[in-house]
Structure 1
Amino acid sequence: MITFSELNLNPKVLKAVQEAGYETPTPIQADAIPSALEGRDVLGIAQTGTGKTAGFTLPMLSLLARGRARARMPRSLVLCPTRELAAQVAESFDTYSKYLKLTKALLIGGVSFKEQDKLIDKGVDVLIATPGRLLDHFERGKLLLTGVQIMVVDEADRMLDMGFIPDIERIFSLTPFTRQTLFFSATMAPEIERITNTFLQSPVRVEVARQATASETIDQHVVMIKPSRRERADTEKRDTLRAILDAEGEACTNAIIFCNRKIDVDVVAKSLGKYGYDAAPIHGDLEQSQRTRTLDGFRAGELRFLVASDVAARGLDVPAVSHVINYDVPGHPEDYVHRIGRTGRAGRAGKAITICNPRDEKALAAVEALIQRPIPRLADPTAPRPAQDELDAAQADDRDTAKPERSGSTGRSRGISRSRGGSRRKTEAAPDTAPAPEASVTEATPAPTAGTSPAEEHTPAPRQDTPPAEHKERRTRSGDRGGDSGARVVGMGDHLPGFIALSLDERRTG
């Protein structure tokens, strides 16, 4: 296995690396550093958290160890998409250049121009900047880029894909054509790669892992939620977030919670604080001093939950982040890789949980297509448990069965109850219940007429005098009253008294 001592780094740089506790380079460092030391252009692609920053910092310091910067003409330039990433790169230069007499300047927004002008006027070997602030200094006549020997674009896909293309093209046009250019990123879409070909000359492509892949040490999950009502969607989503944090318990030592919108960052942070969670927001609309304090507190372990926009998704290095929670599914699938890359860094184990509602399912499908694997689903911790639902339903049925039924005209219980599903069922009679006595009804018969035999005197009237439909209706009602549709019914049932069948004249003569 290769070590840093075999990479031909400057001895003073190597000493600083060893004191920082590093002996073995990561794959991206082992492949990119030799090519960069040879002065070649490099296009480096590797998973987030694999040490890309050191992959360009160490060779830059070794190449800049000789020489001296002139006023307002930096010797090297590092472009970063966010202030936080730029500040982090500046810290890496401080760590590895402790034994070199090199100067640096950090040009980011939210800081006074006056202090930055003083550093540039003295001359800097390494200039680390965001594109907007760099062009501001140039347009004010405080900076010249004609002395740049090495130029680095960190998080290249983000720089080129999120509206920075015009600024990047202008900055490149202000630097010498003979410069050395290094591009590093975790993702590199084909259309973005075509743009980089205009900035790099015969680059060495260093790709140590498949593009847009997350570290295998990150345990990824998705919680699918479905709001009960549209107006309660946001409230129930925040309930789910708190339930997830509670379910993780002590295993969640700290977490970064990512939101798509800045306004949601503030709302979620305020909501967590209201319920007693140690949380603070960070996004681009906050003052730089506040952003710095919040980030420093999170790194120092003084803040447990950092609610952030994608300003913290790129290159932010906090080694001990145990969890990443995606409060929203990112709109760009590549951002998912960068977000979850804030955990599981440097071989550590990490966990990433994404909350997805129905309207985000298409974005989730795009993420799974990018990483080429399905993300396991977790049950919604706020959803009722099915076992409890069944128990509650059974108890409700028992209560319904125990309720007394209203008695009918015959004084007997119907013996029928209605279940929750709407079906009717017969209940068993109690063993000590005596059967009701059968009613005795005496039929009224007309007086015998002349010429009528005794057998004919007791023969009931023909049934065809009553329509069949009426017979059917009476049978149905009779079965309902008796509780047993098969029992024989006397009286006004199927046996019609004879006098009813007689005509009015016959009744008068009789």
Structure 2
Amino acid sequence: MSVASIDAVLPEDEDTVTFADLGLPEPVVRKLAQNGVTIPFPIQAATIPDALQGKDILGRGRTGSGKTLSFGLPLLTGLAGARTERKRPRGVILTPTRELAMQVSDALQPYGDVLGLKLKVVCGGTSMANQITALERGVDILVATPGRLRDLIGRGSCSLQDVEVAILDEADQMSDLGFMPEVTELMDQLPEGGQRMLFSATMEKEIDTLVRRYLVTPVVHEVDAAQGAVTTMSHHVLVVKPRDKAPVTSAIASRKGRTIIFVRTQLGADRVAEQLREGGVGADALHGGMTQGARTRTMADFKDGKVNVLVATDVAARGIHVDNIDLVLNVDPAGDHKDYLHRSGRTARAGLSGTVVSLALPHQRRQIFRLMEDAGVDASRHIIGRGDVFDEEVTRITGARSLTEVQADSTANAAKQAEREAAKLSRQLERAQQRAAELREESERLTARAARERGDDPEVAVAEASAALTAEVEEAVQRELRREQRREEREQRDREQRDQREQRDQRRDGKRDDRNERGGDRDRRDGGRPAYNRGRERDRNGDRDRPRDRGEGRPSYNRERRDGDRGGFRRDDRRPASSYGRDTRSHDDRRPYGRRDDHRTGGRSFDRRADKPRWKRNG
């Protein structure tokens, strides 16, 4: 297999190159201009012309370099104007994660609508019935994760026999997530002669195998290689002590602007997000353990600015694209340099600037700097404590704010909200008072007319009705005031009872702690040995503990052992341990049940029923 390599470099007059110059149809160019996209990125300017000619493409570039439009626009252009059969899409885009699939679909859907093409996202965590229904009606392009697409094919709801263009997006992430068996199984079902495009940030062994197996004379375009540092991105390492990690995280997360925090586990994401919310920071967690609906709502809130901080794991964070993310905070170190690059790629996208900050415990410094060396980035190091996070340099880098400042902003926002609600209630009160005055006038007019019809004095009738109405209103107001007072008294009583219970619990916990502390001091007698080890002594060889008996140095449960007996340990000289407490003496030797009238004298027992003393051992 031969590979044609073309550098993705724009000509010197790159400002004059537009999407129309690349050969895209006029409706697509017009829609791009409406969306504010007029100048193509380097990877787009290099890839689109070759893709429009139907060549196989191998694209290498960091995340956020504009690869979606690089393969998406030629795909839409090539499939426009033809008819798609039921269950037989003509284009397939494979992505490693649900979020990336939805992101790709959202990015391409406006241009698909212009060209009259239907796109459908096929991924886990969403309704399979809806996906089957869409395929029954006909879908031009599937944006799918490998697992769900394989399930649909296995059910007979989809076929890849008509696929003309197949695209693998973020192939290296598919390899990391273990999707290569599913990918190869799907690629083997594609018909021969179609166009194939593969985009990856790195070229691993498995990726190279895919290229050699499925791409025919691919044209290689490489922009912003994964090992290169992005000039608009700065990297910093903050060395913190374990006890300072949580406060430093809260201070940095309290900054103004959008921030993504990466952690290692799902429980860690939930815990950090909850801690930030308790501190007054708007934060949500995003990880693979959430339902797709919850993940979609979380991403929507983050994109809309309802929350400023997103706490995510590596699996859930891959493929996330949100504009204006200017800080990535690694609370837990990345697994390897590729994960670090994927995390860092959430910021400094589309030529914007961004900052990547990693928290490192003292024992993690060497690991993190080796990871960054493998990633090809140069990071500055700052050793800080809880108070040093507000140092001028660190504050400039991270935008950290104190908890008091965050609480002040939160209180100010709450005050603004309360003022808005008060103004709203004031307007409602004015309207209600105006309405009440109008109704009172109408009531007086009708009362006067009714009095004239009866032959009574209208003024007297109106005065009496007004006085009665005023009395009723006053009585209703007094009832409401009394009801409100009783409610306040009940709430105050409940608060006092709750405070009393908390005080009792605190006193009880304090007494328990004092007892534990005193007990711990008592237990530390005899050379600091705990109480549970007081009856044990070191063996002569010093290797293990053994029980120590009082006096004889033998276990208390083995006070006497008769050689030659097979009954095991004995509690006395008459009953073997194997009897489990059963009296094995003869009937003549047994004492009558329940009678305590034996007279013992010096080991002799006299029975009242016998004239002669009967000698026996006291058992």
The residue aligned with 1:437 is none
Matched, 1:17 2:32: yes
Q: Which AA in structure 2 matches 1:374? A: D
- In the TM superposition, 1:37-52 aligns within 5 A as 37-52=52-67
- 1:364 to 1:196, Cα distance in 2 relative to 1, 3 A: farther
Decide whether the 8 Å contact of 1:186 with 1:338 is kept in 2: no
Whole-Å separation in 2 of the counterparts to 1:314 and 1:302:
21
The residue aligned with 1:256 is 260
Matched, 1:350 2:358: no
- In the TM superposition, 1:129-278 aligns within 5 A as 129-189=144-204, 192-227=207-242, 236-246=244-254, 249=255, 252-278=256-282
Whole-Å separation in 2 of the counterparts to 1:363 and 1:384:
23
The residue aligned with 2:286 is 282
Decide whether the 8 Å contact of 2:235 with 2:377 is kept in 1: no
The residue aligned with 2:326 is 322
Whole-Å separation in 2 of the counterparts to 1:312 and 1:18:
32
Whole-Å separation in 2 of the counterparts to 1:174 and 1:66:
25
Greater relative contact order: 1 or 2 (C-alpha under 8 angstroms, separation 6 or more)? Answer: 1
Describe the superposition over 1:69-127 as per-residue Cα deviations: whole angstroms up to 9, x where unpaired. 10000000001111111001110121222311111111111111111111001111110
Deviation at 1:379, TM superposition (A): 3.1
Matched, 1:125 2:140: yes
Whole-Å separation in 1 of the counterparts to 2:377 and 2:290:
36
Decide whether the 8 Å contact of 1:244 with 1:381 is kept in 2: no
Decide whether the 8 Å contact of 1:16 with 1:97 is kept in 2: no
Q: TM-score, normalised by structure 2?
A: 0.58
Deviation at 1:368, TM superposition (A): 2.0
Whole-Å separation in 2 of the counterparts to 1:382 and 1:243:
9
- 1:111 to 1:245, Cα distance in 2 relative to 1, 3 A: closer
Whole-Å separation in 2 of the counterparts to 1:352 and 1:27:
24
Structure 2 residue corresponding to 1:292, chosen from 293, 296, 302: 296
The residue aligned with 1:396 is none
Deviation at 1:191, TM superposition (A): 5.4
Decide whether the 8 Å contact of 2:120 with 2:141 is kept in 1: yes
Q: Which AA in structure 1 matches 2:24? A: L
**279-288 or 3-12, which deviates more:** 3-12
Describe the superposition over 1:218-244 as per-residue Cα deviations: whole angstroms up to 9, x where unpaired. 1211111233xxxxxxx5422221133
Deviation at 1:193, TM superposition (A): 2.6
Describe the superposition over 1:273-310 as per-residue Cα deviations: whole angstroms up to 9, x where unpaired. 12111111011110111110110010011111100112
Q: Which AA in structure 1 matches 2:302? A: F
Deviation at 1:15, TM superposition (A): 1.8
TM-align CA RMSD: 1.9
The residue aligned with 2:593 is none
Describe the superposition over 1:40-71 as per-residue Cα deviations: whole angstroms up to 9, x where unpaired. 11111112211111111110011011211100
Whole-Å separation in 2 of the counterparts to 1:186 and 1:166:
20
Describe the superposition over 1:381-433 as per-residue Cα deviations: whole angstroms up to 9, x where unpaired. 41669x9xxxxxxxxxxxxxxxxxxxxxxxxxxxxxxxxxxxxxxxxxxxxxx
The residue aligned with 1:64 is 79
Whole-Å separation in 2 of the counterparts to 1:239 and 1:21:
41
Equivalent pairs, count = 375
Deviation at 1:359, TM superposition (A): 4.5
More helix by share: 2
Whole-Å separation in 1 of the counterparts to 2:367 and 2:153:
40
Q: Which AA in structure 2 matches 1:371? A: A
- 1:134 to 1:347, Cα distance in 2 relative to 1, 3 A: same
Decide whether the 8 Å contact of 1:77 with 1:151 is kept in 2: yes
Matched, 1:89 2:93: no
The residue aligned with 1:105 is 120
Matched, 1:374 2:378: yes
Q: Identity percentage over the alignment?
A: 38
Q: TM-score, normalised by structure 1?
A: 0.70
**311-320 or 124-133, which deviates more:** 311-320
Whole-Å separation in 2 of the counterparts to 1:56 and 1:242:
40
- 1:379 to 1:319, Cα distance in 2 relative to 1, 3 A: same
Q: Which AA in structure 2 matches 1:238? A: A
Whole-Å separation in 2 of the counterparts to 1:272 and 1:313:
19
- 1:384 to 1:106, Cα distance in 2 relative to 1, 3 A: closer
Deviation at 1:312, TM superposition (A): 4.4
Describe the superposition over 1:347-370 as per-residue Cα deviations: whole angstroms up to 9, x where unpaired. 222111111224434542343223
Decide whether the 8 Å contact of 2:302 with 2:310 is kept in 1: yes
Deviation at 1:340, TM superposition (A): 1.3
Whole-Å separation in 2 of the counterparts to 1:378 and 1:191:
38
Whole-Å separation in 2 of the counterparts to 1:282 and 1:69:
36
Other structure's SS at 1:9 match: coil
Deviation at 1:372, TM superposition (A): 2.4
- 1:71 to 1:263, Cα distance in 2 relative to 1, 3 A: same
Other structure's SS at 1:354 match: strand
- 1:149 to 1:111, Cα distance in 2 relative to 1, 3 A: same
